[in-house]
């Protein structure tokens, strides 16, 4: 298979517990494999061809045809222009929608069917559903007005945040937080704003996503942000990177929910998250990460100077 949507490669690998059926992936997927832990768990994934499309997901038809895939996975909700050239070349293309946890379940079942591993889909989806129920109950038990949490998709060269119809907004609300950008809408939920708007929102917590190179230290050191409550309280955090980026929906989403819950409502229970990562990785990848690998996944070094992050240290 060849996968162009960024999360698809890691989902396919999780369902298969192998990279042997993946012959091509988007470069942004490969970068996550390289920078995260998936390349360590499945070294063959690092050898997969990753020149199959450009940044706008326009397919490199010549490269894909040379790989002779049985099927190509492509975004199905971004117009026919990124699908038709492959179909015209005789390739079988599946266009998929994405943006919610339900989409993750759909992709997981589809990949499991293609791989003739239906039991894998049910195990993965059941695990997600069970943890979603647990986190929903926990969030509902919290005060009606939790801390304001602003997710930055980008902050270095431009400022883009998660608005009302974003997946990020959904998990902020899930854990009991509030999104100061909840009244702003944009394509896919990500909206461009200026620094003045961020200063006016004055979030209690800032999340820096995995689609920007910035780290908490960059925000703490930037004079533009010095008056923000999140900066004064040292509550700026880089989102973890595991088998894939934790910020968008995926097979590791329950770990994102638990991490954010511990960030928003610190109770010194970070060791439970480390234990859950181990449990979920055994299910997803048949792999037990070491303490050093857990530190890497949770970005302990990058987040060490942020408030309450020592709760995630190995005990």
Could you read off the pLDDT of 165-179 as tens digits, one per residue? 899 999 999 999 999
Query: Over 80: is that where the pLDDT of 1 sits?
Result: yes
The confidence score (pLDDT) of residue 144 equals: 77
Residue 104 lies in a domain: no
Are 94 and 148 in the same domain? no
pLDDT in tens, 74-88: 999 999 999 999 999
Residue 72 lies in a domain: yes
Residue 107 lies in a domain: no
Are 161 and 66 in the same domain? no
Query: Over 90: is that where the pLDDT of 234 sits?
Result: yes
The structure tokens listed for 57 are: 């997901």
Domain end marker among 40, 66, 98: 98
- Angstrom distance (rounded) from CA 113 to CA 195: 47
- Under DSSP, the state recorded for 92 is -
Are 94 and 144 in the same domain? no
The confidence score (pLDDT) of residue 303 equals: 98
Residue 116 lies in a domain: no
Query: Over 90: is that where the pLDDT of 26 sits?
Result: yes
Residue 161 lies in a domain: yes
Residue 129 lies in a domain: no
Domain end marker among 74, 98, 122: 98
Are 82 and 147 in the same domain? no
Are 171 and 289 in the same domain? yes
Are 199 and 294 in the same domain? yes
Q: State how many domains the chain has.
A: 2
- Bridge partners of 96, per DSSP, are 75
pTM over 0.75: yes
Are 87 and 151 in the same domain? no
Residue 231 lies in a domain: yes
Domain end marker among 70, 98, 126: 98
Question: Where would I find the H helices in the chain?
Answer: 8-16, 27-35, 38-41, 61-67, 84-88, 101-114, 118-140, 167-174, 195-201, 216-221, 229-232, 253-264, 270-285, 291-297, 300-303
The confidence score (pLDDT) of residue 289 equals: 98
- On average, the pLDDT of the chain sits at 96
Are 6 and 152 in the same domain? no
- Angstrom distance (rounded) from CA 198 to CA 194: 7
- Angstrom distance (rounded) from CA 249 to CA 143: 26
pLDDT in tens, 132-187: 999 999 999 987 789 999 999 999 999 999 999 899 999 999 999 999 999 998 87
Are 292 and 147 in the same domain? yes
**CATH number of the domain that 293 lies in?**
3.40.50.1980
Residue 274 lies in a domain: yes
Are 148 and 60 in the same domain? no
Are 180 and 258 in the same domain? yes
Are 173 and 86 in the same domain? no
Q: Tell me which residue range forms the domain holding 224.
A: 140-312
């Amino acid at each position: 298979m060849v996968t162009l949507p960024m999360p698809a490669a890691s989902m396919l690998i999780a369902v298969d517990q192998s990279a042997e059926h993946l012959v091509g992936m988007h470069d942004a997927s490969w970068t996550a494999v390289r920078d995260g832990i998936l390349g360590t768990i499945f070294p063959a994934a690092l050898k997969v061809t990753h020149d199959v499309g450009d940044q706008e997901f326009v397919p490199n038809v010549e490269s894909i045809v040379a790989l002779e895939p049985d099927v190509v996975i492509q975004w199905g909700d971004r117009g026919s222009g990124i699908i038709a050239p492959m179909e015209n070349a005789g390739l079988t293309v599946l266009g998929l929608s994405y943006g919610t946890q339900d989409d993750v379940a759909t992709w997981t079942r589809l990949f499991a069917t293609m791989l003739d591993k239906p039991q894998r889909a049910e195990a993965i989806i059941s695990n997600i559903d069970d943890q979603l129920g647990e986190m929903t109950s926990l969030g509902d038990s919290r005060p009606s007005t939790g801390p304001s949490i602003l997710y930055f998709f980008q902050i270095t060269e431009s400022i883009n945040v998660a608005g009302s119809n974003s997946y990020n907004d959904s998990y902020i609300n899930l854990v009991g937080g509030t999104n100061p950008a909840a009244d702003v809408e944009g394509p896919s939920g990500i909206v461009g704003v200026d620094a003045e708007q961020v200063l006016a929102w004055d979030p209690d917590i800032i999340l820096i996503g995995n689609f920007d190179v910035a780290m908490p230290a960059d925000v703490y050191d930037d004079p533009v942000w010095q008056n923000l409550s999140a900066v004064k309280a040292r509550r700026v955090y880089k989102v973890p990177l595991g088998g894939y980026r934790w910020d968008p929906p995926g097979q590791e989403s329950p770990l994102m929910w638990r991490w954010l819950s511990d960030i928003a409502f610190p109770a010194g229970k970070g060791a439970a998250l480390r234990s859950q990562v181990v449990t979920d990785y055994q299910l997803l990848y048949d792999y037990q990460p070491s303490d050093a690998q857990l530190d890497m996944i949770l970005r302990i070094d990058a987040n060490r100077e942020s408030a309450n992050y020592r709760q995630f240290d190995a005990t």
